[in-house]
Amino acid sequence: MNGYAGQILRIDLSARRSEKSPLPDELVRDYIGGRGFAAKLLWDEVPKGAAPFSEANRVIIASGPFSGLFLPASGKITFASKSPATGGYGDSNMGGHLAAELKYAGYDAVIIGGRASAPLVIVIDDDRIEFRDAGKYWGKGALISEKMLKEDLGEDFQIATIGPAGEKLVKFACVSHDFGRQAGRTGIGAVLGWKNVKAIAVRGSKTIPVYDQEKAYAKGRQMYEVCFSKPGFKEWTPEGTAGVTDWVNEVGAFPTRNFSTTYFEGHQDINGSALRTRIKVTDKGCFGCPIPCGKYSRVKFGGKETYVEGPEYETIALLGGDCALTSIEDVAYANYVCDELGLDTISGGNVCAFAIECYEKGILTKERVGRELKWGDLESVSYLLNQIANREGIGDLLAEGVRTASAELGGGSERFAIQVKGLEWSGYEARWAPSMMLSYMTCDVGAHHNRSWAITHDVATGRDSLTGKADKVIELQHTRPLFDALGVCRLQWVEIGFELQHYEQMFPLVTGMPYDWKQLLKVSERIWNLTRAFSLREVPGFGRQLDYPPARFMEEPVPSGPAQGKLLTRDKIDALLDDYYKKRGWNADGVPTREKLHELGLDFVAEELATCGRL
């Protein structure tokens, strides 16, 4: 099967058994790979009503047809599961080298089900599958565990681990890999933790076949040459994603003090320039990537040298601005704490900021927390992160995420629990950016920016206007996740203007499938509707009512900075949603219509939703 390894690996943890089966043609034809495989496999395999922490829930790991091949940034893999944070569809994708290695081992996807009776490591070594006792690693940090596993198994293994946070079922525990890459969002680390999977170690030696080797090799060379010729190739790499920090402040979209305002006066001490000049050691990249975005850094704390990959922009936004940390060194250290504990830095920063605001308002007391909490205080943040990962004291509640924590704490804190659907909001404040607001509201997994990064569209076409915003969001929600289905990174396109046509031209050379970009976007639309349907099936009340932003964004004007006075009132939010649903072919409650599902070949979804009374 050209472009694919041609096999699915199924792991039954309860029986400690594995099974290999051929990759089905229909899965490839209709869902392409990566996120597409994940969405379809979760729909098929997870029974309605299964709890996230259950044997019936699945963790799907899937690469795409471009993964592991000679073309720019072919290193992306998707992790997916029923999310413990939202109860609905959750996925997160990860760079590094795991995608490629899994394909060389001979697998396009791994389906993990059941629950192991004791912590184990799943070892995938070409055809050999082993379940190894994880006793010596359990309880250890995600980074340390990877180091130990590389020493024990071999440096040529690619390894994904969970940290203590995943073991303790923290709702925003992540999956870690390659000393600094994560599948960060939606709490997949906790699902693996519940299933007693400490790590997955992969080594592969096989060749990946392509449809036209000569033409694909030539096209690959050309793709790299085009990347090399882009001005951003030299310009963007030194600071990577952190380079956008100043700009986001300049346009008043920077999360500051739990999104209470949108400009951080200390941003120049935590920006890309600070990172590059003060702490960066190496530009570290993923498989096949010409513009390594990883900024591997070194900071000294308490006389000890600490290494961390980062901080990247999101971490600068959520651990930096949102907690008001005042130096890049502090942000890097907080980043390291998250990485070792196995916590998503986005949710981690958001949750800490929420706790600090609760403390400021007297909703949390020194007695309950165990110490005082302050803005701009690394010790406050570090203390909270450790409490959370260990589920100690207030950490046990905060580990549930801000939606649950605010429901328990009350005192009006629900209004500033900055989340949608139970997933904490990421690094772009949007009271003066309607497209971005809509992006966060309608992202399938909850408040995440990766599906649709639309803020420049707002700046370019008018930040106060609502016209055309839904169209742009929908366009991006099909284009960006397509990369997650293909198994490649989109930053070449996003950051250095590498043209989409190159991926379109490469697709038939690799797979032999005659899909043009328009047809691939249709697959992406199919996947979009399928993940929406999964959550509609699984989450009570899912639909329009869970597409709203937090009250802060609809009721509190931005108090300071470039976006001062801005907010998006409920009527405007409703107008955006109405336009969005209409353009998507969904009803006013945000449910795909029968016609739309039929158009996308999702009649089986329509049947199921009708059975559940959602259609």
Partner 1 sequence: MKLATRDELCSGCRVCQMVCANENFGENNPKKGVVRIVAHFPDPGRYSVKVCDECGTCQSVCPVGAISKNDRGALVVDETTCIGCLTCVEACPHGVMMTHPSRIAPFKCTLCGRCVEYCPRGAIYDADAKRA
Partner 2 sequence: MRIVVRATGMLRDLPPFAEQGEEIVVELPAPASVRAVIAAAGVNNHLVMAAAFDGQRRGKDELLIRDGELLLIPPLAGG
Q: Which of 58, 5, 71 is nearest to 33 (CA)?
A: 5
Residue 93 makes CB contacts below 8 A (sequence gap 6+) with 34, 35, 76, 77, 78, 79, 183, 484
Is residue 300 at the binding interface for partner 1, with CB under 8 A as the rule?
A: no
Q: How far is CA 345 from CA 311, 325, 352, 425, in A?
A: 9, 14, 10, 11
Binds 208, which of partner 2, partner 1, none (CB < 5 to 8 A, cut-off by type)? partner 1
Is residue 235 at the binding interface for partner 2, with CB under 8 A as the rule?
A: yes
Q: Judged by CB under 8 A, which stretch of 51-59, 237-245, 325-333, 372-380 contacts partner 2?
A: 237-245
Q: Which residue among 31, 89, 137, 287 contacts partner 1 (CB under 8 A)?
A: 287
Residue owning tokens 């790590």: 199
Q: Which residue among 459, 466, 521, 612 contacts partner 2 (CB under 8 A)?
A: 459
Could you give the strand order of the β-sheet that contains 128-133, starting from the edge strand earlier in sequence? 128-133, 120-125, 197-203, 158-161, 175-177, 181-183
Binds 104, which of partner 2, partner 1, none (CB < 5 to 8 A, cut-off by type)? partner 1
Query: Minimum Å distance from CB 460 to partner 2?
Result: 6
The H-assigned helical ranges of 7-114 are: 25-31, 35-45, 98-105
The H-assigned helical ranges of 376-512 are: 378-390, 395-398, 402-409, 434-442, 455-461, 469-486, 491-496, 501-511
Tokens of 362: 């007297």
The H-assigned helical ranges of 323-426 are: 328-341, 345-360, 366-369, 378-390, 395-398, 402-409
Is residue 527 at the binding interface for partner 2, with CB under 8 A as the rule?
A: no
Nearer to partner 2, 459 or 551 (CB): 459
Count other Cβ atoms within 10 Å, centred on residue 161. 30
Binds 118, which of partner 2, partner 1, none (CB < 5 to 8 A, cut-off by type)? none
Tokens of 408: 């328990």
Tokens of 307: 């290494």
Is residue 462 at the binding interface for partner 2, with CB under 8 A as the rule?
A: no
Is residue 211 at the binding interface for partner 1, with CB under 8 A as the rule?
A: no
Residue 514 makes CB contacts below 8 A (sequence gap 6+) with 508
Q: Which residue among 106, 187, 204, 590 contacts partner 1 (CB under 8 A)?
A: 204
Query: Minimum Å distance from CB 372 to partner 1?
Result: 32
The H-assigned helical ranges of 264-344 are: 272-274, 313-315, 328-341
Query: Minimum Å distance from CB 222 to partner 1?
Result: 11
Between 267 and 286, how does the x/- string for binding to partner 1 read (CB under 8 A)? Answer: --------------xxxxxx
Q: Which residue among 449, 472, 478, 594 contacts partner 2 (CB under 8 A)?
A: 449
**Which residues are bridge partners to 133 per DSSP?**
120
Q: Which of 291, 275, 277 is nearest to 243 (CA)?
A: 275
Question: Per CB under 8 A, which of residues 484..503 are in contact with partner 2?
Answer: 491, 494-497
Between 299 and 338, how does the x/- string for binding to partner 2 read (CB under 8 A)? Answer: -------------xxx-xx---------------------
Query: Minimum Å distance from CB 182 to partner 2?
Result: 11
Length of the chain: 615
Q: Which residues bind partner 2 (CB under 8 A)?
A: 230-232, 234-236, 238, 241-248, 250-251, 293, 312-314, 316-317, 427-428, 449-450, 453, 455-456, 459-460, 491, 494-497
Q: Which residues bind partner 1 (CB under 8 A)?
A: 68-70, 97, 100, 104, 126, 143, 147, 155, 178-180, 204-210, 213-214, 217, 220-221, 224, 227-228, 233, 281-292, 294, 296-298, 305, 307-308
